[in-house]
Amino acid sequence: MIRIHQGVDLVEISKFEEVVKRNPCFLLDLFTEQERTYCQSLKDPIPHFAGRFAAKEACAKALGTGFSSSGIDHLFQEMEVVSRPSGKPEISLSGWAERIAKKKNIDQASVSISHASGYAVASVILLENGSE
């Protein structure tokens, strides 16, 4: 039996930018070096950081953990959004996030990110290939 786990998150870009301005370490804490390099290479990096943040939140929701469980100290860093040469985003899990996904028999992940009207939205779908 295949099970679908979905998470969705919406981020108001202006509020996200305010948080970044108040706390410069915020980007270092939440994003991998590869994510920071990618976003900072763009003309306006903040919407892209906000989209990746939304994707990480959506992924945590799809995993069923959220960001309030124990053991999540580095969860944001363990969910990395990478862009394929085509621009299509993919989500890569490591550490604790990867262990949760393996425990749930999740073997496929899909992420979609969009920006419009001052918001970034992301949807993550995880497929569990379990047995009945």
For residue 22, the SS3 value is: helix
Q: Is the pLDDT of residue 69 over 80?
A: no
d(CA 54, CA 60): 10
Q: Residue 93 corresponds to which tokens in the numbers above?
A: 């899990």
**At 121, which helix (H) or strand (E)?**
strand 119-129
Average pLDDT, the chain: 91
Q: Which domain holds residue 30?
A: 2-129
Q: For the domain that residue 102 is a member of, what is the CATH number? A: 3.90.470.20
For residue 130, the SS3 value is: coil
DSSP 37-96: HHHHTSSSHHHHHHHHHHHHHHHHHHHT-TTSSTT-TTHHHHEEEEE-TTS-EEEEE-HH
Least reliable range by pLDDT among 11-15, 49-53, 71-75, 99-103 = 71-75
Q: How many domains does the chain have?
A: 1
pTM higher than 0.95, yes or no?
no
Tens of pLDDT, residues 73-116? 578 899 999 999 898 999 999 998 999 999 999 999 999 999 99
